[in-house]
Structure 1
Amino acid sequence: MKIHDVIVKGKVVDAETRCSHYHSERDRIAIKFKCCGTYYPCIHCHHETAGHSVERWPAEEFWQKAVLCGACGTELTIEQYMQSSTHCPACNKSFNPGCQTHHHLYFERPNSIGN
């Protein structure tokens, strides 16, 4: 599905990147996976459709644009996303604060490398 001219794969439900796994009002980001350079709404969508294992973004590549705001289409760097708290820095729409508990699935932290 194309969302703001960016292809997002997976079980996308709506135009703000909500999927069948995460679909609350504030679930509005997609993540570009390091392993394939493809945006998915969540790790479950990647597992179900990509056909390969997930590779997490290393901390030294947090300057890469890898998070898509489903509300406005802004592609954020990983660092911008991590520092944005729970709002898009471009349009101020809220992000799900619960996503922070899943960051380790997508992004390595210096103390999590090898885990």
Structure 2
Amino acid sequence: MRTTVHGTAVRGVDVGAETRCAHYAGPTDVIALRFGCCGTFFPCAACHDAVADHEPAPWPRDRFDEPAVLCGVCGATLSVREYLASDFACPECDAAFNPGCAAHYDRYFEGVAPRDP
């Protein structure tokens, strides 16, 4: 399924207006991540697994300065470096991001180890 969030296409399962999905629908679940395999935004790896026809690959380390994280609240697109430095809040609108996502960094960003929030 495809949804448009602030003008950006986001694929996944039951994706809402702020990028929440069937798998993560809490108040801070408001980002979508671009996958390195296809360049497509998904709210989470489970959404990629559910709707993509290929294996997931994280965003490549040599492209960490390119937009790869979408804030579902304001539509800002952040580079991986900006997102990792954000302290779990959008630098544009200050919306809170889910710190639990840090436990899955390796799924989304090449060479970034998962960590406790």
Partner of 2:40: 38
**Structure-2 residue corresponding to 1:54:** 56
Whether the 8 Å contact between 2:42 and 2:48 is mirrored in structure 1 is: yes
What residue in structure 2 maps to residue 26 of structure 1? 28
Secondary structure of 1:30's match? strand
Q: Cα gap change, 1:72/1:111 in structure 2, threshold over 3 Å: closer, same or farther?
A: closer
Q: What are structure 1's unaligned runs of at least 5 residues?
A: none
Match of 2:71 in 1: 69
Match of residue 96 from structure 2: 94
Aligned to 1:106: 108
Q: Percent identity?
A: 45
Specify the alignment match of 1:12 in structure 2.
Answer: 14
2:68 and 2:80 in contact (8 A); partners too: yes
Q: 1:108 deviation in Å?
A: 1.6
Q: What amino acid is the match of 2:39?
A: G
List gaps (5 residues or longer) in structure 2. Answer: none
Shift of 1:58: 2.6
Q: CA RMSD in A?
A: 1.5
